[in-house]
Amino acid sequence: MKVETSNCMLYIHPTKKGLDEPILDELTMKVLHAVRNKTAKGVLHQDGSFSKDISTKGVHHCTACGGNIHSGSQDIMLPNGLITNTLAVHYVAKHRGELTQEDITKINTLAECADTCVPPTEEELGKGWMIDYYSSY
């Protein structure tokens, strides 16, 4: 999904396989913190509007990692009003080199993560719950 709006971030299509070891720095923790504190789940439409409490028909895979790395069937609204997808933490932690400057600028506007923040789980880093059958398309 390609969405050209100013109120969303991290809708990217990585071309290089993700890092084996995620980058867990301030930028990643900010995104993680925001995702954990989401204010709503729903669907982001192409025109940038957001409908709460509905789901898309499917999920999207990381274009570079594929396989078992995929989003959920909902987009999420962050505490500051930005909308992102459930692969946001995966993208920032594993595809840092492919983020746009605009995404990085937006991430920097997110609230700081407290020192007590728990590092992301495998699931938060994008590992999905689907069996391989579903991952083949």
Tokens found for residue 49? 């509007």
Residue with Cβ nearer Zn ion (42 or 99): 99
Minimum distance, C-beta of residue 17 to Zn ion, in the bound complex (Å): 7
Q: Give dist(CA 110, CA 18) in Å, integer.
A: 23
Minimum distance, C-beta of residue 10 to Zn ion, in the bound complex (Å): 12
Q: Give dist(CA 132, CA 111) in Å, integer.
A: 36
Q: Give dist(CA 83, CA 81) in Å, integer.
A: 6
> According to CB under 5 A, which one of 27, 32, 44, 62 is a site residue for Zn ion?
62
Residue with tokens 């070891």: 21
Asked if 120 interacts with Zn ion (CB under 5 A), we say no
> According to CB under 5 A, which one of 8, 18, 32, 82 is a site residue for Zn ion?
18
Contact footprint for Zn ion (CB under 5 A): 18, 62, 64-65
